[in-house]
Amino acid sequence: MAKKRVSKTAKKKVHHTSHTDDHSFLIIAGGGFVIISIIMLFLYNQPSSTEKMMYETANTITSEDQRVVSMNDSMFTPESLTVKVGESVTWRNDGMTDHNIVSDDDVFTTGVLAKGEEGSYTFTKEGTYSYHCSIHPEMTGTIVVE
């Protein structure tokens, strides 16, 4: 039986092709990991309907004369709150980015609030007070004072 000779060049080609396939696989796998990570980050930062309900339930009343509104990265919870004259409302930043409160009629405002910080205002007159975050104008809310 005659032995089949494989040239050194052929061996290198086979090895080179295998290396290229491994490299391509790593690039594809890494790209997939990056895409999945971005999707997970986006989904993690979006409040679910359960989260919204939990915020409304847990953060509406903290005492008889103080109410809390949670600021997340896309909304106020609750978006509308009814209080009595003399009661205070506290806005707490539970989001990952800075927020502030500015009433549409310039009656009250907070400075910029970082994550975990709070700002309060005591309402002394009846009325409906609309407000927004000037950093994120799509975030709006209303306080009704009776």
Clarify whether residues 37 and 72 are in a common domain: no
Where residue 60 sits, what CATH number does that domain have? 2.60.40.420
Structural domains of the chain, count: 2
SS3 category, 59: helix
pTM: 0.57
The verdict on residue 2 lying in a domain is no
Counting Cβ atoms within 10 Å, is residue 120 exposed (0-12), middle (13-18) or buried (19+)? middle
pLDDT value for 27: 72
**Cα–Cα distance, 94 to 70 (Å, whole number):** 6
The verdict on residue 11 lying in a domain is yes
The verdict on residue 1 lying in a domain is no
Q: Which domain holds residue 15?
A: 7-44
Clarify whether residues 65 and 26 are in a common domain: no
The verdict on residue 39 lying in a domain is yes
Clarify whether residues 94 and 129 are in a common domain: yes
pLDDT value for 94: 95
Q: Express each pLDDT in 62-91 by its tens digit.
A: 444 469 999 998 899 999 999 999 999 999
Q: Which of 7-16, 70-79, 83-92, 136-145 has the lowest mean pLDDT?
A: 7-16
| Contacts for 68 with CB less than 8 Å, ≥ 6 apart | 59, 60, 61, 62, 89, 90, 91, 92
The verdict on residue 75 lying in a domain is yes
Q: Express each pLDDT in 33-68 by its tens digit.
A: 667 766 655 555 555 544 444 444 444 444 444 699
